[in-house]
Amino acid sequence: MAEGVQLTQVDSGARYEVFHTDCPARDVVGHVTSRWGIWVLISLQGNDLRFYELRESIQGVSEKMLAQSLRALVADGLVWRRVEPATPPQVTYGLTEFGREVGEPLTELFGRITRRLSPRDAR
Amino acid sequence: MAEGVQLTQVDSGARYEVFHTDCPARDVVGHVTSRWGIWVLISLQGNDLRFYELRESIQGVSEKMLAQSLRALVADGLVWRRVEPATPPQVTYGLTEFGREVGEPLTELFGRITRRLSPRDAR
DNA sequence: CAGGATCCTATCCGATACTG
DNA sequence: CAGTATCGGATAGGATCCTG
């Protein structure tokens, strides 16, 4: 929505940044910081996981939303998806290099918030 | 929602992390990574800003959502709010130390995504 | 096991109007 | 300027059922 061309035509003296609506990064940021996307990326930081492992790892996510989030992250090039042709089928997800790059600040973010909220529990 | 007590009762051999639904950090993470919260925090990284400066800085945000996001961030202790008793009224927002701590990985996140999406434009 | 399709509801969020 | 209040449409997201 609001796809109008929006240039950074700020008066040169402006002291604040402008985030234009058509910035392509906004979509990716949206997916990354989506309700479940962030947990997917953090979960996959440690190791590759299968679909059901992700579902069990991320408390409260529904299969629908997990699949949807994964699709968006794969499309953005943050997550890869490998299908093992077996019965029962096996699908594994993992981070691409871009995904690791992005997951790192997210993990840091989560860590800082957790530490601040429960100083004694976070060690 | 879903405020049930949820302990980390995973089998000790589990290789993946569990994010329980009652984790208090989840709410803060939610606010921080909310649609507008992230841009507020990044905007305030540079310098303190007044309400209208934030509104103009963050393309596409409505007054309602900006006010709502700011209230949540103030309640979480990430942002402070200073009212200058003047006519017309003047309200300035800025980051607390916690806010700067949290804003840093967010800025890093945004930077990495931007660089990846437009390698030649992001320098 | 890994999902797609459908339905339906909660909430998000923008537009508008009004206040101190 | 810096908000609040209310309304209504869009959308996110959960529950359920079904398929390869």
Single pTM value for the model:
0.84
Contact A57 B16 (CB under 8 A): yes
Q: In angstroms, how far is the first alpha carbon of chain A from the final one?
A: 43
Long-range contacts of A8-13 (CB under 8 A, 24+ apart): none
pLDDT tens-digit profile of B48-87?
999 999 999 998 899 999 999 999 999 999 999 999 988 7
Q: How far is CA B75 from CA A118, B64, B69, B96, in A?
A: 17, 17, 10, 12
How many Å apart are CA B78 and CA A6, to the nearest integer? 30
Gap from B43 CA to chain A (nearest CA, Å)? 6
Q: What is the pLDDT of residues A32-82, one digit of tens each?
A: 999 999 999 999 999 999 999 999 999 889 999 999 999 999 999 999 999
Considering the segment(s) B48-113 as one domain, its CATH architecture is Orthogonal Bundle (1.10)
State which H helix or E strand residue A105 sits in.
helix A97-117
Contact between residue B88 and residue B111 where contact means Cβ atoms under 8 Å apart: no
- Please count the other Cβ atoms lying within 10 Å of the Cβ belonging to residue B17: 15
Give phi and psi for B90, each to the nearest 5.
-135, 120
Spatial distance between the Cα atoms of B89 and B51, rounded to a whole number of angstroms: 10
- CA A46, CA A95: separation in Å to the nearest integer? 10
- Supply B2's token pair: 């879903």
Task: Measure the CA angle with vertex B30, ends B90 and A58; round to 5°.
Answer: 175
Q: How far is the C-alpha of A109 from the C-alpha of B6, rounded, in Å?
A: 23
* Distance of A64 CA from C8 C1′ (whole Å): 15
Put simply, the answer to whether B28 touches A113 (Cβ < 8 Å) is yes
CA distance B114 to chain A (A): 6
DSSP class of A34? S
- Alpha carbons A93 and B89: distance in angstroms, whole number: 52
Read off the pLDDT of residues B1-36 as tens digits, 9 standing for 90 and up. Answer: 333 333 333 343 455 655 666 667 888 999 999 999
